[in-house]
Structure 1
Amino acid sequence: MIKKCILHAFLTLLLITSEYKNVSGQSIRFGFEINEGKNSTIIPFKLNSNLIIVDVLFEGVIPLKFIVDTGVTNTVLIDKTYSDILNIEPDRKLTLVGAAGLREVEAFIVNRTSIKVGEVTGNNISLLILKEDYLDLKERIGVKVHGILGYDFFKNFIVKIDYHNEILKIFNPYNFNRPLFFYERINMSVENSKPYIFQNIAVNDSTVIKTKLMIDTGASHPLMLHKNSNEYLNLPEKNVRDILGAGIAGNIEGHAARIPKLYIDKYKLEQVVTNYPDSGAYHDIIVNTGRNGTIGGGVLKRFKMYFDYGNETLYIKRNGFLKKEFKHDMSGLSVIAKGEYFLEPYYEIERVRENTPAWEAGIKVEDKIMSLNGIRGKDLSLELINNTLSKKDGKKINLTVKRGDQILEFTFYLEAFI
């Protein structure tokens, strides 16, 4: 199964909040704005593993791909290679600490960069540059991603996210007069650049609790809950041990389970797949913010949404994804994308959980996937593999792999673990 990526920079930096500064009598623009004074513009995106990926133009020269992520503060360049190509000198160096506090990584700040996203241009943007690609997103989602657009991108606009049609619509808030009669209005608290909503969760058949949840478009899981952040938030009895995602500190481990119900205003989502990271992984964040968890793309993609950071308001309306069943791996496999094999991307088994259908069939770590249910080579993708391995209980899987010089064929049947 493709691991659900949880993307966080885990830092708070000073933000450039003013739109204009006067330097030597000249008016200099700062921040993101819609080109030519337009009131709105549409930006297409690709939805991959529940993540929003847009095309950007970096410094007016290099085309890159960025994730749109409400869970981070700054605009982030994941790989320093691209700033080095343009001989961009950092203004200062800093150290970031991952979720569990077990790994420190180096990063740099550049105070004035240019980033163009469709007809939205960011002038003199404060950019966080990671020294190396610590997130390794290509392995996790099968697409090369170069950066992240965070709070800086959202704060000056009203942003509509339409997952079903894969478009963002960006509005100038001062001229926004679109009636939203058919949307539900939810109070949203923006704290230290992160958006939070307070929603009810049924933790069992008789107990419903109100939780503080961060909205994180940069997380592909449906829901993450922090154990013991509330006396009723305990790990369900039926669960599976797994790698839940990846951050700058490496893999985030814990358990996956299901909760009976998640309520988003008037909407009720049932049997929601929920990640429970190991205790301690988010300890400081829980203490500092009081949050109980995170709503990720696996839930968010079921709605059309308007983010209005200025008025701390979220508007939502269901889309065609709302009633789709929440899926989880039924094979026991963790699969990653690797470089090029016979001049094509290939997919490799990263992990096989014990006592699962794939483990009992004899599949091993580092087996290279040649075909899955008759789909071969270049026609495969991580998303297709993930969807196939979480299809339905009892589904037959035919898998052909290359192990050393051997070509091996395996057959097994999917089994629901949670």
Structure 2
Amino acid sequence: MILTKKILIICLLSLISWPPSYGQGDFNLPGKDNDKIKFQLINNLIIIPIELNGVELSFILDTGVSKPILFNITNTDSLQIKNVETIYLRGLGEEGKPIEALKSKKNFTKIGNAINVNQDIYVIFDNSINFTNRLGVNVHGIIGYDLFKNFIVEVNYTSKYIKLNKPEKYVYKTCKKCEVFDLSLFNNKPYIETEVKVDSDLIPVKLLIDTGSSDAIWLFEDVSLGLQPFNDMYFNDYIGKGLSGNVYGKRSRIKMFKMKSFELEDVNVAFPDSSSIGNARKIKNRNGSVSGEILKRFNLIVDYGNSKITLKKNRNFKTPFYYNRSGIVLEQTGSRVVKEKEDRGHLGYGNAKDETKIELSTYYKYSLKPAYSIVALRKGSPAEKVGLQIGDELLSINGKKTHELKLQRIMEYFKNDIGKLIRLRIERDGEVMLFEFRLEDVFKEKELP
């Protein structure tokens, strides 16, 4: 592997379009008009299987990125990359500093039956840039524009598949319940014009369509437009992680989010701190993002070639919007050895009549199971007030052993109704401890001095 000394500054939020001389390849579907690929939907994020240079990986399908990024290569020793040069990437985050990466050219990429024999990949070696711990499943990277530019992409959130269609072969069906929106592509990212109602009036907004964020809506605070939390109904929180660090801000609600005839009420919204989104605010007329918690309520037809997107509401449309009412942020922080009971049956013989009977013997086995730990606590939250601490490892929740649960399932407990009792069994410095608290209205939490 030979590294050149060329330095290139890339801003993921305003990535300049590459000229043809860079030789970036296209995806093709040899001998097929379309292809369907199943995905996992984890915390509102679409995770698709990708083969990169013969190695099977998982990537987030992210309309908010212009170039594919590989960031988790811990268990991919067989992955070979070549034709590399050192670059620097900058994205969201309070630190705002660029991070070092490698740009690798001429990679073979396969998604379903779609192949690209000349794929650029940006490789990050910073271990802190990793979605795996937060999602509880292996995620190795993110991909967006490079896939959407070559196909008309159907995204079916209910059946959990994407369908790649050759544009020249695709025929739109008549759909009376659909709404079609114009897309504007800027720096290879899609924007849509919608409306929000914070107080009493509908406010036109231009939002990035961001399938790589699990939130509902991000709005950039602008007092002149009325884009700010209504009546100070908000709480301060961690709202995400970017390439340049953590993103914090205010979480609130808006009265309505309107997309032509589609209207959603009491919608969660985040107002990120301006220090974390400096580059994003430089994009003219952008007011924020619409993301997974909204998008999953529709099935989509994304057509970059014709600059349009078609939405049809699905069975998720009326799902209420919930916040994490516990204040706990969990991550999968490795594995723990678990002792499990196992009953085994075998044939035995009874009394003088030599009656055959089945006898049960108890055995124990030891196995590695996921370990989940608290990595952040919201100030003034129910969990913090009862004494839970960052670093506490969860052993059980409401009587359920956490090593038997997926991370997403555990987090669902924290989005339950106000007043719901939560009982946690945790381990701290080798000591097992019990805690309990009731979920509270997040907008009534009082910050501690």
Query: TM-score under structure 2 normalisation?
Result: 0.84
Matches within 5 A, 1:47-196: 47-59=41-53, 61-79=54-72, 85-99=78-92, 100=94, 102-182=96-176, 183-196=178-191
**Preserved CA contact (<8 Å) 1:215 1:294:** yes
Residues 229 and 292 of structure 1 are in contact (CA less than 8 Å); yes or no, is this contact kept in structure 2? no
Conservation of the 8 A alpha-carbon contact between 1:245 and 1:252: yes
Provide closer, same or farther for how the CA distance between residues 322 and 175 of structure 1 changes in structure 2, counting only shifts above 3 A. same
- 1:10 paired to 2:35: no
Contact 1:11–1:96 at 8 Å: present in 2 too? Answer: no
Superposition pairs for residues 10-409 of structure 1, below 5 Å?
10=13, 12=15, 14-15=17-18, 30-36=25-31, 38-59=32-53, 61-79=54-72, 85-99=78-92, 100=94, 102-182=96-176, 183-204=178-199, 206-228=200-222, 231-236=225-230, 237-342=232-337, 343-409=368-434
* Superposed displacement of residue 11, structure 1: 5.3
Check conservation: 1:161, 1:167, Cα contact below 8 A.
yes
Judged with a 3 Å threshold, the aligned counterparts in structure 2 of structure 1 residues 354 and 81 are, in CA distance, closer, same or farther, namely closer
Q: Any idea what the Cα deviations from partners look like across 1:157-176, whole Å, max 9, x if unmatched? A: 10000111101011111011
State the alpha-carbon separation in 1 of the partners of residues 383 and 296 from structure 2.
Answer: 30
CA-to-partner distance for each residue in 1:59-106, whole Å, 9 max, x for gaps?
Answer: 1x2110011010000122113567874442343211112324632201
Question: Quick one: distance in 2 between partners of 1:129 and 1:178?
Answer: 37
Deviation at 1:283, TM superposition (A): 2.5
The secondary structure found in structure 2 opposite 1:35 is coil
CA contact (8 A) 2:377 2:390 kept: yes
Distance in 2 (CA, whole Å) between partners of 1:119 and 1:140 is 30
When residues 150 and 229 of structure 1 are mapped into structure 2, their CA distance, relative to the original with a 3 A threshold, is farther
Aligned positions, number: 400
Instruction: Please tell me whether the aligned partners of residues 327 and 390 of structure 1 are also in contact (alpha carbons under 8 angstroms).
Output: yes
- The amino acid of 1:97's aligned partner reads R
* Alignment deviations for residues 262-312 of structure 1 (CA, whole Å, 9 cap, x no partner): 012211111111111112322232223321000010000000000000010
Unaligned runs of 5+ in 2: 1-10, 338-367, 444-449
The structure having more radius of gyration, on CA atoms, is: 2
Q: For residues 101 and 366 of structure 1, what CA distance do their matches in structure 2 show?
A: 23
1:230 CA drift (Å): 5.2
1:178 is displaced (CA, Å) by 3.2
- Give the letter for the 2:303 counterpart: D
The separation in 1 between residues aligned to 2:184 and 2:16, in whole angstroms, is 19
Letter in 2 for 1:390: K
* Conserved? CA contact 1:16–1:31, under 8 Å: no
Give secondary structure in 2 for the equivalent of 1:394. Answer: coil
199 and 193 in structure 1: CA distance in 2 versus 1, 3 angstrom threshold: same
How far apart, CA to CA, are the structure 1 residues paired with 2:159 and 2:108? 28
How many angstroms apart in 1 are the aligned matches of 2:407 and 2:196? 31
Matched letter for residue 241 of structure 2: A
Distance 1:154 1:275, change over 3 A: same
Which 10-residue stretch deviates more, 77-86 or 221-230?
Answer: 77-86
- Looking at structure 1, the residues matched to 168 and 275 of structure 2 have their Cα atoms a distance apart, in angstroms, of 43
Deviates more, 1:351-360 or 1:161-170: 351-360
TM-score norm. by structure 1 comes to 0.90
Q: Give percent identity, aligned residues only.
A: 31
Higher RCO (CA-CA < 8 Å; seq separation 6+):
1
Amino acid at match of 2:123: I
The DSSP-based 3-state class of the residue aligned with 2:279 is: helix
Question: 2: distance between equivalents of 1:257 and 1:11?
Answer: 27
- Partner of 2:276, secondary structure, is coil
User: Cα distance 1:129–1:11, how it changes in 2: closer, same or farther (>3 A)?
Assistant: farther
Partner SS for 2:64: coil
Q: Give the superposition deviation at 1:180.
A: 3.7
Q: Quick one: which amino acid aligns to residue 159 of structure 2?
A: N
CA distance in 2 between counterparts of 1:244 and 1:344 reads 28
**TM-aligned CA distance change 1:128 to 1:240, over 3 Å:** same
- Gap change, CA 1:75 and 1:102, over 3 Å in 2: closer
Q: Relative to structure 1, is the Cα distance of residues 357 and 35 closer, same or farther in structure 2, using a 3 angstrom cutoff?
A: same
* Structure 1 residue runs of 4 or more that deviate by more than 3 Å after TM superposition: 8-11, 13-18, 79-87
Aligned position for 1:4: none
Q: Structure 1 regions of 5+ residues with no counterpart?
A: 1-7, 22-28
